[in-house]
Chain A
């Protein structure tokens, strides 16, 4: 029924199967929307946030998806500014993932502010002394950049592309995409950094406070660095998951390996810097505030030394060392392991820098304050995941996201309908594709001439 919208030269599942999958994702989405409406209509009393936790699960999710969506800006930077041409085969998907992550981040913020109708206050009545204002500015502007980067992909849909204006618009946008990519890299550098800077300037909370370079605490640079290192790992992970679900190869190994190699070296340099930062904080910064390292990791039920070891060693050093080796990247098991650990590592880092910061007592008479999210918080945090799944499903079906897919999965000759009646739709689709290819080539000749 929808074969005319499916990209040329590729095969997709039957429409009923697609709609069934879409329906399942929508059930989860509706659960999240219900919780979101509760928060908007009844207020933030629906959450377990309190005076100790002004920032809670949403802000963790926000920072985590922004870090994971960093694959878009860094891959775009590598592709358009550095000139890694091979990454053009994965940049579409990186942009789509980035678009989902950043739109999710904005959605979460819209829930978190409680009164979304006043969301524009942060722009109009900007507090220019707040790092979060910089985050809001850059986040919104970068979301516009992602829209601009995602738009050509939408316009490349088989039917939309037939309209000359849209075809030319796509062509023109591709031509100056480097300008948008550079703007995106500029914006991402600052908002990723400022998210880290928020914890680093909290001189009243020694767990988060770090030394500064001019006005920027070390966490400013570490957050940008970690997003650039781990964002591409998330892109690889989602690509691998998509390949596993689609049961076909979508991107060639050399493209994945290049991105994994760059990501590995970024991660290695990041984790060296992170280790130095942690040691300096434990030995110099925290003691200068009158606290020992044990103060942050003992006398509570959750946050032990294990979290530090898990974040820095297991989810930091291990994936970095795997990804910088040729053998580690080529082995599918170790590649999967490395990207999963990297994604967990950066998410854990954001958890620690948002929630453990608030849990640690800062006065002798205060005890550890632990927090557990309400179901509304959980549902609204899962909401973006369902939204992301839906957008990926629709984009994968109707847009040419993977330029190498047709080459990696050549279509078989159409089966005879009388032999296999159930293959009739697929055969018709393939025949139509071949017909379109002929027509398409015929259309191009006058323009080329």
Chain B
């Protein structure tokens, strides 16, 4: 799962498989982090976004 795991081999299959997994998880994680930080900032500023 990680390059520091004893099973890890630096070959194409490992890089593609795990690269895609971490790529997807990173997008989800960064997206949610952005939303949470911005929501906290907006709330502190007293603004109320309208999504309806």
Residues on A lying within 8 angstroms of B by beta carbon are: 123-126, 128-129, 133-134, 137-138, 141, 144-145, 148, 164-176, 179-180, 183, 186-187, 190, 444, 447-448
From B21, B32, B43, A148 is in contact (CB under 8 Å) with B32
Q: Which residues of B1-52 are within 8 A (CB) of A? A: 1, 5, 7, 13-14, 17-18, 20-21, 24-25, 27-28, 31-32, 34-36, 38-40, 42-43, 46-51
Q: Would A186 and B24 count as touching, CB distance under 8 A?
A: yes
From B13, B24, B51, A174 is in contact (CB under 8 Å) with B51
Least distance between B47 CB and chain A CB atoms (Å): 7
Least distance between B43 CB and chain A CB atoms (Å): 4
Which residues of the partner chain A approach B21 to less than 8 Å between Cβ atoms? Answer: 137, 141
Which residues of the partner chain A approach B20 to less than 8 Å between Cβ atoms? Answer: 137, 190
Q: Would A183 and B35 count as touching, CB distance under 8 A?
A: no
Smallest CB gap from B29: residue in A: A144
Least distance between A185 CB and chain B CB atoms (Å): 11
Which residues of the partner chain A approach B24 to less than 8 Å between Cβ atoms? Answer: 138, 141, 183, 186-187
Q: Would B31 and A179 count as touching, CB distance under 8 A?
A: yes
Which residues of the partner chain A approach B32 to less than 8 Å between Cβ atoms? Answer: 148
Q: Would A176 and B28 count as touching, CB distance under 8 A?
A: no
Q: Would A172 and B17 count as touching, CB distance under 8 A?
A: no
From A164, A169, A171, A187, B36 is in contact (CB under 8 Å) with A169
From B25, B42, B47, B50, A144 is in contact (CB under 8 Å) with B25
Least distance between A193 CB and chain B CB atoms (Å): 13
Q: A134-B17, A183-B24 are in contact. Are A124 and B1 (CB under 8 A)?
A: yes
Least distance between A164 CB and chain B CB atoms (Å): 5
CA distance A179 to B14 in the complex (A): 25
Q: Would B7 and A168 count as touching, CB distance under 8 A?
A: no
From A128, A148, A166, B17 is in contact (CB under 8 Å) with A128
CA distance A227 to B17 in the complex (A): 23
Which residues of the partner chain A approach B47 to less than 8 Å between Cβ atoms? Answer: 168, 447
Q: Would B14 and A128 count as touching, CB distance under 8 A?
A: yes
Q: Would A164 and B28 count as touching, CB distance under 8 A?
A: no
Residues on B lying within 8 angstroms of A by beta carbon are: 1, 5, 7, 13-14, 17-18, 20-21, 24-25, 27-28, 31-32, 34-36, 38-40, 42-43, 46-51
Least distance between B17 CB and chain A CB atoms (Å): 5
Q: Would B48 and A164 count as touching, CB distance under 8 A?
A: yes
Which residues of the partner chain B approach A134 to less than 8 Å between Cβ atoms? Answer: 17
CA distance A170 to B42 in the complex (A): 12
Q: Would B51 and A165 count as touching, CB distance under 8 A?
A: no
Least distance between B44 CB and chain A CB atoms (Å): 9
Given contacts A128-B18, A134-B17, 6 further A-B contacts (CB under 8 A): A123-B1, A128-B13, A171-B42, A171-B49, A172-B38, A180-B27
Smallest CB gap from B48: residue in A: A447
Which residues of the partner chain A approach B5 to less than 8 Å between Cβ atoms? Answer: 124
Least distance between A50 CB and chain B CB atoms (Å): 31
Q: Would A168 and B48 count as touching, CB distance under 8 A?
A: yes
Q: Would B50 and A168 count as touching, CB distance under 8 A?
A: no
Least distance between A154 CB and chain B CB atoms (Å): 14
Least distance between A24 CB and chain B CB atoms (Å): 34
CA distance A173 to B49 in the complex (A): 11
Least distance between A422 CB and chain B CB atoms (Å): 33
Least distance between A2 CB and chain B CB atoms (Å): 22
Q: Would A444 and B43 count as touching, CB distance under 8 A?
A: no
Which residues of the partner chain B approach A171 to less than 8 Å between Cβ atoms? Answer: 39, 42, 49-51
CA distance A227 to B18 in the complex (A): 25
Q: Would A168 and B49 count as touching, CB distance under 8 A?
A: yes
Smallest CB gap from A173: residue in B: B35
CA distance A180 to B34 in the complex (A): 13
Least distance between A181 CB and chain B CB atoms (Å): 11
Q: Would B39 and A141 count as touching, CB distance under 8 A?
A: no
Which residues of the partner chain B approach A124 to less than 8 Å between Cβ atoms? Answer: 1, 5
Closest 10 CB pairs of A and B: A171-B49, A169-B39, A168-B39, A172-B35, A168-B42, A171-B51, A165-B43, A128-B13, A164-B43, A174-B51
